[in-house]
Amino acid sequence: MASIADLNLKLMSASALLDTDPAAAARAAGEILKDNPDNTAACLLLATAARKAGDAALAVEVLGALARSQPAAGLIRLELARAYRDAGRVAESVAALREALSIEPELAEGWRELSSHLAAAGDEHGSDLAYQRYADLAPQPWQLTEAGAALAGNRVAAAEAMLRRILRDAPQDVAAMRMLADALGRREAYVEAERVLRQALDLAPGDSAARHDLARLLLKQQKPAGTLPLVERLLRVDPKNRLYRDLSASAFGMTGQFAQALETLRALAAEPNAGYAEWLNYGHELNAAGRSQDAIAAYRRAIALDAARGDTYWSLANLKTYYFSLDDIAGMRSAEAAPGTSLVDRYHLCFALGKALEDQKDYADSWVYYERGNALKHAEVRYPPRLAETHVRLSKQVCTREFFETRRGWGVADSDPIFILGLTRSGSTLIEQILASHSEVEGTQELADIQRIVRALRGRDTDLENPRYPKVLAELGPQDFRSFGEGFMADTRIYRRTRRPYFIDKLPDNFRDIGLIRLMLPNAKIIDARREPMACCFGNLKQLFSGGQEFSYSIADMAHYYRNYLELMRHWNEALPGRILTVHHEDMVEDLEGNVRRILDFCGLRFEPACLEFHKTERNVRTASSEQVRQPISREGVDQWRNYEPWLGSLKDGLGDALTTYRD
């Protein structure tokens, strides 16, 4: 027994040298083999140490003999494959890996290395399948458990710090890279998150999980051109995967391939085990396509499958034309009051109940739910109002009239884009629908491209009082803005499905970045969609947005944001006289034709009667006003806020002189 114990001790001591001094480990293994020439562990140690020390030929010789003597040992063939690889004998390495895996199919590392070989040989599909087997077999590294728990608890900063420490010691840990990208994405550091995921895929080209993460990240940034190839590759590995198919539908919808998006979601909803999420998403796409009755049927099916989910009720309410029954209202009240209802479901139900009771003309009870929904959502988003003030102050300091005059001619000369911007719920979708009814204008959607440039300019700046952007605009030269303009025109090409010479970007938030737009696209048309303050602010307060607009969940924040919007737009009009057309929603309602002609004149377009019959234009609309712009214009929404006037005193106070100066 003593001799066996002594042998094991020598083997352990030699093995401990493998990573720090493989040559010494090889010498120690050789000494062991002098007295124990047939010891398999010592032979394997010698071969592994020789390979790590750079003597792949010796490793191949030793492992080849071992493999012949032990035909059922998969691990030996895995090491032989590594020795062949290091010796540059790739075909033999792949053959040894396949043999190892035929003997021991549960050998996780073998599948990972086979995936790398196949990727290098250009066999994408084989590489993906092999890596999928590795992912199924490999255990979660214990080092990531704590970081995973931090992410699950939304302790993003703590998780990021842990993961960066792990990656300092193990820079090729793909699982840690994926988790770090998740943490970065949660704080909107999208550029770095994308870089980390691409690096992970360079290290593990067959990793479908990393590819899926990258596809989702690109889609979140509205980069569908890069998303579709990733999703197509994912679907070749797992064509029935619901997550992959749903991603493909989103990318199709974003690129204007609406028929493909609708068919993908229809197929998902039609499957026997389809749940509420599949029917909900199908309903959204039907609504965007203008098939409101079919959308309602899909939403009702989702409710039948899971009546406790608030987002389905809100989807019905958000149609703006749907009226809930008294039974529906009773069911929503019960679900909202239930102790087990989640925060997200509760505020969705509150906003839906606010709309349902508004339709019943029970304004007092309706306001109770609107107010409660806003309070719940406001607590979740934690919006800092000073951000808006700081941005306005710095924009006024940097982007003066003289600033633009000295940069005349910068950017690219393209006049294709028409930006419709302003506050949400101000009539921008109506203007978009009118222009998209013109034979020379293509309506796209709310594009994220300007905001993506802003994020890149902002960088990882965390100074809320003195941020890098927009000050950085003064530090950039003509080539920078030319590059931004060229990039914008190239990146938005995918959204243009026709040969029409002009296209619309209708992201309201772009009003903050008119200075950047002017410098990179000096010939773009800019239209400010403006609405009377009380109507605009109330419209936001009763709207639950799918993302962003954090200022809209508090009366004080909403009033403050509206005032900052007015101040900034006054500045842009002073710094860029005649370059921005302000269109008041109330004027559109009172004199549609006069204002349509005014808009078309500003855009350099001839008058077309179809613009007056905008509600007949068939196109996908993906905003909260989708159903409203499919009907003739009406005064219905102009004074809706007056039904809630008894509860909006603090809004009037907060708006102050904006109530009268919004037309200045």
Over residues 37-52, the mean pLDDT reads 83
The C-alpha atoms of residue 433 and residue 446 are separated, in whole angstroms, by: 13
User: What is the pTM assigned to this prediction?
Assistant: 0.82
Weakest mean pLDDT among 48-62, 362-376, 435-449, 574-588: 48-62
Question: Could you give the 3-state DSSP secondary structure of residue 141?
Answer: coil
Strands (E), 417-552: 417-422, 441-445, 502-505, 525-530
pLDDT-derived band at 26 (thresholds 50, 70, 90) equals confident
224 near 258, Cβ under 8 Å?
no
Over residues 458-483, the mean pLDDT reads 90
The C-alpha atoms of residue 637 and residue 145 are separated, in whole angstroms, by: 52
pLDDT-derived band at 1 (thresholds 50, 70, 90) equals very low
Residue in 585, 583, 507, 505 with CA at minimum distance from that of residue 539? 585
Tell me the average pLDDT of the chain: 91
Instruction: Give residue 3's pLDDT.
Output: 66
Residue 74 has pLDDT above 60, yes or no: yes
Instruction: Give residue 39's pLDDT.
Output: 82
Residue in 416, 415, 418, 414 with CA at minimum distance from that of residue 434? 418
Number of helices (H), then strands (E), in the chain:
34, 5
Residue 462 has pLDDT above 80, yes or no: no
Instruction: Give residue 471's pLDDT.
Output: 96
pLDDT tens across 307-347, in order? Answer: 989 999 999 999 988 999 999 999 999 999 999 999 999 99
Over residues 88-103, the mean pLDDT reads 91
Burial of 70 (0-12, 13-18, 19+ CB in 10 A): middle
Instruction: Give residue 45's pLDDT.
Output: 81
Instruction: Give residue 618's pLDDT.
Output: 76
Instruction: Give residue 137's pLDDT.
Output: 87
Residue in 451, 448, 443 with CA at minimum distance from that of residue 621? 443
Over residues 352-369, the mean pLDDT reads 98
Domains of the chain: 2-137 (1.25.40.10), 152-322 (1.25.40.10), 396-661 (3.40.50.300)
Cis preceding linkage at 533, omega within 30: no
Residue 202 has pLDDT above 80, yes or no: yes
Q: How far is CA 267 from CA 185, 249, 305, 648, in A?
A: 30, 11, 17, 46
Instruction: Give residue 263's pLDDT.
Output: 96
Question: Could you give the 3-state DSSP secondary structure of residue 309?
Answer: coil
Residue in 477, 473, 487 with CA at minimum distance from that of residue 521? 487
Instruction: Give residue 135's pLDDT.
Output: 86
Over residues 264-272, the mean pLDDT reads 95
544 near 503, Cβ under 8 Å?
no
Q: How far is CA 564 from CA 555, 557, 575, 607, 649, in A?
A: 14, 10, 16, 35, 20
pLDDT-derived band at 378 (thresholds 50, 70, 90) equals very high
362-369 long-range Cβ contacts below 8 angstroms, 24+ apart: 363/643, 363/644, 366/644, 367/644, 367/647, 369/336
